[in-house]
Structure formats: structure tokens, C-alpha cells
Amino acid sequence: MATERTEAVLERTDPSFLKSCNTTEVQETGEGEIMAPYLMDCRRKQKHIFRQLCVVDDMIQLLAGLESADQLVNEPCPQNPGSEARSAWKALKAEYQDRVQEVEGLINTLRVRMEELQGKRKTLETLLSTLQLKKEECKEKERITAKRNQRAEKQISFQLEDSLQAAQSTVNVCDLRLSKFKDEVEKQHARISDWTILRDGLQTWVTVTHRNMQFRLLSVSSSELCLELLPRAAEKSLEPLRVSITMTTSDEFHLQVFQGTAGLGEEAVNGRLRQVSAALVEVMERYISQGEMLSEIQALHSRFAIDWCPAEKLLIFLKTATTVCQLRVEEGYPSQGRATLLSVRKDGSLLDITDLQPPVQHPVLTEWLEFLSSNPNI
């Protein structure tokens, strides 16, 4: 009887609330804008249905315990129908939520571990691919190294053969050069013999020359002789004259006279070796012939700022930084020639030298320089 009543109550219930929530049609439509409201409405309908089922269950239990319709009318209504089912439903709901949270936590943990495993897998795959590449590179390097070593061995063997051939060629060339050097040494020995004879003759000439003049040997080599010469007759007034004699391989000489402070112009004389004595004597005679003039010029070097030009017979006197005087010495000075004043330049301008004359009649260079240095008008 209770079953029949329950079926009758269910038949009188609104069929729209008993309709199952089918989400297939909504998912197939693909309309994402109505999914949330649709699901909320389904949830609301499910709750409403659940409440109706609770009421129905309470009514079925109540009707099951009644024996007549009068008992339903006379007995009071229960204070909280369906409380036991609701409490059980809430307990099940709470347990469901706890289990859902626990499952979600386990899912998250599993997801994290899966991600870690995926990362480690990717790392292992990367390392494996890198290792494979390194392995291939090592194989390629070994192959290249083997080829290079083979090539180097072949090249070294070729180089050794070339070196041996070059060494043999060098030995042959050295033998030829050695034979040439032997011939050259023999020639040099013969030439040294000739030079020894020449040196002995030159030493004899030097001994003879030493009787008339004083000399000092500065340096000597196989082909050059440097001397300082000073005639004995004028050794107290003239400074030494420095000369060098260079002997060439063709039995010739080159005599070079250095001016220095002697006042004699630099000159060079060339000729055969047998004429070196005559050339040296000629230089000395010319030096002695100008001994008095050169002695005076050498003495003036220590007193005045002068510059002597032997080729032009010109003496330049620098009185100050801006005053320059030029004097000309005639041939045969001082016995036959005279010393004359050519010009006086002060601050870049030439001065009138008409009235510039020392108090003596024929002044020498020393008197001219003393007069010019003490003249206040210059």
C-alpha cells in the first residue's frame, strides 16, 4: 500500500523537475556563453528535486506507520520532517567535499611530480642528445686527427728528404766556397807580404820624417794609418795636424787632411803608394808655409768667437749675438799680405766701415779683433 502511494505521489510531482540534466546538447552546441548559467540552473533543479524527494520519503514513512486516515488527521505534524535524511545528506556532502579536496590535493601533487618527471625526462633527453653529439664530435675529431697525423707524417718524410737534398747541396756549395777561400787566403798571404814590404818602407820613411818633425800615432789597422804631425821648428806655435792614410787593394793611397783647430783647409790626395811620401811632405810644407798665420788664428780661437774659412781666406768674428764682422786675409799674410775689414752687420743691417781703422798702419788680425771688440760704436 505504501508503495502504491509513493508511486501516486511521484505521478503527481511536476515532471519538469524530474528531467535529467543532459549537458550533451549544450556541449555539442559549443556556446560557451551559456554554459555557466545552464550548469547553475541544473544544480538548482537538482537541489529542488532532492528536497522534494526528502519530503516524499518522510511522507512515505509517515503513511507507512498510519493505520487509518483518521489517525493522519488527528495526529500532530512532525516538527522537522526529513531532518534525519538532511543530516545524513549533509554528512555525506561534507565527506564528499573532504574526499574531493583530498583527491584534488593528490591530483595536484601528482601533477607536480609529473611535471618534475617531465622536466627530468627532458633534461635526460637533452643530456642524451648532447652526449650523442659529443660522441659523434669525438669520433669526427679522432678521424680528422688520424688523417692529419698521416698527412703530417708524409709531410715530415718529404721534408726530411728535401732537407737531406738541401744539406747535400749545401755541403757541395761549402766545398766550392772552401776551395775559393783557400785561393783567396793564398792571395791574401801574397798581398800581406807586399804590404809588409810597404810597411817596412813606410816605417823607414817615418823614421826619416821624424828627424824633421814630431808625430804621434793615433790608430793603425790593416788598411788605415792615423797620425798627428807637428813640425819641430814650429812645435811651440802650431797645433798638431791630423791626417789619415788609407791604403786600397789596388796599391793606391788616400790621404785625408782634417781641419780641426789647425786652420788648414780639409783636403784629400790620392795616388800610388810610392807617392805617399811626396804627398805628405807637400802637405807639411804648405802647413809650415802658413805657420805664422795659422799660429795667430789658433791663438785667437781661445780669445774670441771666430770662425776661419781657409778656402776663402775669410775670418768671421762674432762680437755679439747680433753683431758679425768679416775680415779678409790676403795671400802671403802677414809678411806680404794684409788683413782688411770687409763688412760689419748689426741687427741684420750693414754698418758704414769707412772710419773703422785701428790706430796702427798695417794692423794684423789680433789688432783688428782687439779694436773691434773694444769699439763702442759697433
Q: Which pLDDT does position 347 carry in this prediction?
A: 87
202 has pLDDT over 90:
no
8 A C-beta contact, residue 367 and residue 304:
no
Residue 6 vs residue 245, higher pLDDT: 245
8 A C-beta contact, residue 319 and residue 325:
yes
Residue 78 vs residue 312, higher pLDDT: 312
Identify the DSSP state of 139: H
- What is the distance between the alpha carbons of residues 373 and 198, in angstroms, rounded to a whole number? 53
Residue 265 vs residue 280, higher pLDDT: 280
Strand-pair partners of 257: 243, 267
> Please, which contacts does 56-62 make with residues 24 or more away whose CB atoms are closer than 8 Å?
56/6, 56/9, 56/10, 56/13, 57/82, 57/85, 58/82, 58/85, 59/9, 60/2, 60/5, 60/6, 60/9
265 has pLDDT over 50:
yes
Q: What are phi and psi of 267, to 5 degrees?
A: -150, 165
* 305-330 as b/e: b if 16+ CB within 10 A: ebebebeebebebebeeebbbbbbbe
- What is the distance between the alpha carbons of residues 290 and 268, in angstroms, rounded to a whole number? 18
- What is the distance between the alpha carbons of residues 272 and 275, in angstroms, rounded to a whole number? 5
Quick: pLDDT tens for 101-131: 998 999 999 999 999 999 999 999 999 999 9
CA distances from residue 242 to 81, 191, 218, 227, 287 in whole angstroms, order as listed: 152, 28, 9, 6, 11
Q: 299: closest CA among 308, 310, 309?
A: 308
8 A C-beta contact, residue 329 and residue 337:
yes
pTM > 0.85: yes or no: no
3-state secondary structure of 25: helix
Q: 290: closest CA among 334, 328, 251, 324?
A: 334
Quick: pLDDT tens for 19-36: 444 444 444 445 556 777
